Amino acid sequence: MQTKHDILDLGHVQLGYTLRGTSGPPVLLVMGLAMPGEGWMRQVDDLSQDHQVCWFDNRGVGKSSTPKGLYSTQKMAEETWALVDHLGWESVHVVGVSMGGMISQQLLVQQPERVRSLTLIASAAVGRKAQPTAEGVKRWIKVQSTKDVDERMKALAHLLFSEKTIAEGRVDMGTLGRDLAAGRARGQGMLGQLAAVFGHNAKSQLAIHQDKPVLCIVGQDDVLVSPRNTHELAKILAANLLEIPDAGHGVSSEHPELVNAAIRKHILAV
């Protein structure tokens, strides 16, 4: 299957992106805080069989450049639309996770006529409300402060996945290692993206888009972004809601079969 890696130079920022598939409805995958787009591979391998799929690194992470200053989800959405324009896509199915879900909300707000469908995974309408639990904060700090790669992967697993998943040995450590190797955000990139998360507030703007087909997905055991945020999103957008038990913030990697099937069903219904 054809896969294209490239860099889009927008002048003020360069975005590293990958395109797979040559036919079928286009799907854009928008990644969350600090993670490179490679984190979508368990969706890409499935969806690219009959869709054109694009995934990319947000500013500040991976193969994309790291502009100085604070970032915003509005600006990151503008850059994402520039990528869609570069691909020649008139409209697109959008799937966003966590911070990527916030950017995806801004895509809907900015150009609703071009969003065929929207899937929001473990996200929030208001970034300030998307605070982790006390346990989530503890686990996040451990990920950021651990230098040993193997130990960092273990810490990341406990941050993203349910304890049941870890106890059953169902964590794909190879996938986590690949994602880490692809370039997690550090320094300026992390600070900029954190500013985008905490500055995000699309609640009032989303309410007028209840006519759009929206699916919200959340893991019941998410300690990084409380599930109540996804429930609120579903209510604001009059969206369908899928809550997956024994799943954490990384539900798309933890239960890819369930998530992929839900995305496919959602897209086909449009």
Q: What's residue 182's pLDDT?
A: 63
Tally of CB atoms within 10 A around 110: 15
CA distance 157 to 160: 5
Mean pLDDT over 223-245 rounds to 97
Per the listing, tokens 């150009």 go with 111
- In a 3-state reduction of DSSP, which class is residue 53? strand
Tokens of 61: 């992470």
CA distance 241 to 237: 10
Q: How far lies 157's CA from each of 173, 200, 249, in Å?
A: 8, 26, 10
The pTM assigned to this predicted structure is: 0.95
Give the residue among 260, 246, 268, 270 at the shortest CA–CA distance from 95: 260
Residue 127 pLDDT greater than 90, yes or no = yes
Mean pLDDT over 185-192 rounds to 90
Mean pLDDT over 65-94 rounds to 98
Residue 185 pLDDT greater than 90, yes or no = no
Q: What's residue 186's pLDDT?
A: 77
Residue 116 pLDDT greater than 80, yes or no = yes
User: 84 or 136: whose pLDDT is higher?
Assistant: 84
Give the residue among 224, 237, 97 at the shortest CA–CA distance from 157: 224
Contact 248, 165 (CB under 8 A): yes
Q: What domains are defined for the chain? A: 3-268 (3.40.50.1820)
